[in-house]
Amino acid sequence: MKRILAALLALGCLAPATAAPAAWYWWVSRTTGQRVCSQTSPGEGWLHEKRAYDNSRCEA
């Protein structure tokens, strides 16, 4: 029984280690056309471009 619990605990600890960072997107304002690079929406009225980036500068 202890071996099973130890194995389940080990598997539970490995799951977060495989997580990837969130993607970055260019967000474009519907009203002004201003662009912002962010992982999350700056608020209502912003649309994100389809391409995802892996850094905060939104560069390839």
Asked if 26 and 35 touch (Cβ cutoff 8 Å), the reply is yes
Residue 45, domain extent: 22-60
11-60 residue pLDDT tens: 777 666 667 888 999 999 999 999 999 999 999 999 999 999 999 999 97
Q: Is residue 58 part of a domain?
A: yes
> 42: Cβ–Cβ under 8 A, 6 or more apart, which residues?
27, 36
Q: Is residue 3 part of a domain?
A: no
Q: Is residue 8 part of a domain?
A: no
Q: Is residue 6 part of a domain?
A: no
Structure confidence at residue 13 (pLDDT): 73
Structure confidence at residue 15 (pLDDT): 63
Q: Is residue 12 part of a domain?
A: no
Q: Where are the alpha helices (DSSP H) in 1-60?
A: 2-17
Query: How many independent structural domains does the chain possess?
Result: 1
> 52: Cβ–Cβ under 8 A, 6 or more apart, which residues?
23, 24, 25
